[in-house]
């Protein structure tokens, strides 16, 4: 994630704090950080979070507190973690680590401001009413990377023209997964490529995906846009190199 993008979100946190109304307010504003991943895998993002707050005049432990809730890659834990932040009466929720975090936060509260990052279309995903007038208590920024899938298949074909059998690594828990597969299958069809999808949301499943891909002799692996893959990029690189499978990511 680019530093300036993350700081844009942090600036949004400061802007929405005054909108939060609670019967009893804490001595300092409290940011609830709801994340699909783990603190270890998201250490760089945590550093950017703190740096962004600092550049906007907020120092953790001095004039702002951060309540962290980690789902450890288990999306079914997000709902209860979001509810816990609401019980804690945080002033704003930073829903990070993918769309599932935002959906869980949105389901938990209609009053506490929620700021998100997503790679999909926030309107299609049901996060906001429209781009220019989000409405409700949810706002944020989107990179709209899902629309790049077809172009990525074309680029992969140009780089490795002999690869007629291409793998696509996808996390089935990602709300964008079905649309990603559909778009890439259409792009592959136009280029006369065979696209095989491999689902993974654990380290064991990542290993199995590349093992199976190697057995099926795929010529390349396209890694879908997903926070889990982003937090396990080192493992993905090792697996791709170990199996000698060229890989690229959305």
10-48 residue pLDDT tens: 555 555 554 444 445 557 899 999 998 888 777 877 888
pLDDT in the model for residue 16 = 54
Q: Is the pTM of this model over 0.75?
A: no
Length of the chain: 250
> What is the number of structural domains in the chain?
2
Given a cut of 70, the residues of the chain with pLDDT beneath it are 1-26, 143-148
Whichever domain contains 102, its CATH number is 3.40.50.2300
First to last CA, the chain: 13
User: Do residue 62 and residue 82 come from a single domain?
Assistant: yes
Q: What is the Cα–Cα distance from 140 to 196, expressed in whole angstroms?
A: 33
pLDDT in the model for residue 197 = 94
Domain boundary among 111, 143, 175: 143
pLDDT in the model for residue 144 = 64
User: Which tokens go with 126?
Assistant: 């049901």
By residue range, what is the domain housing residue 90? 3-143
pLDDT in the model for residue 1 = 44
**CB neighbours of 182 closer than 8 A, spacing ≥ 6?**
none
User: Do residue 107 and residue 132 come from a single domain?
Assistant: yes
pLDDT in the model for residue 155 = 85
Q: What is the Cα–Cα distance from 175 to 125, expressed in whole angstroms?
A: 8
Q: At what angle do helices 177-190 and 149-159 cross, to 10 degrees?
A: 40
User: Do residue 7 and residue 108 come from a single domain?
Assistant: yes
Domain boundary among 112, 143, 174: 143
Q: What is the Cα–Cα distance from 184 to 148, expressed in whole angstroms?
A: 10
Please compute, for residue 239, the number of CA atoms within 13 A of its CA located in the half-sphere on the CB side. Answer: 24
**CB neighbours of 148 closer than 8 A, spacing ≥ 6?**
250
């Amino acid at each position: 994630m680019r530093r300036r993008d993350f700081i844009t979100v942090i600036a949004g946190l400061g802007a929405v704090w005054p909108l939060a109304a609670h019967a009893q307010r804490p001595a300092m504003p409290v940011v609830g950080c709801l994340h699909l991943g783990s603190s270890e895998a998201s250490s760089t993002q945590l550093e950017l979070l703190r740096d962004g707050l600092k550049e906007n005049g907020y120092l953790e432990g001095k004039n702002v507190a951060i309540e962290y809730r980690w789902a450890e890659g288990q999306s079914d834990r997000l709902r209860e973690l979001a509810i816990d932040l609401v019980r804690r009466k945080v002033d704003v929720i930073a829903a990070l680590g993918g769309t599932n975090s935002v959906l869980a936060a949105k389901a938990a509260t209609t009053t506490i401001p929620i700021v998100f990052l997503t790679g999909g279309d926030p309107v299609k995903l049901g996060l906001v009413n429209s781009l220019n007038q989000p409405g409700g208590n949810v706002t944020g920024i989107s990179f709209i990377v899902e629309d790049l899938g077809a172009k990525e298949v074309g680029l992969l074909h140009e780089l490795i023209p002999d690869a007629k059998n291409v793998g696509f690594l996808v996390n089935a828990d990602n709300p964008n997964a079905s649309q990603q597969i559909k778009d890439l299958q259409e792009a592959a069809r136009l280029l006369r490529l065979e696209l095989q999808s491999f689902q993974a949301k654990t380290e064991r499943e990542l290993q199995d995906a590349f093992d199976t891909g190697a057995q099926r002799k795929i010529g390349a692996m396209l890694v879908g846009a997903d926070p889990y893959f982003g937090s396990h990029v080192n493992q993905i690189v090792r697996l791709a190199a170990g199996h000698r499978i060229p890989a690229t990511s959305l």
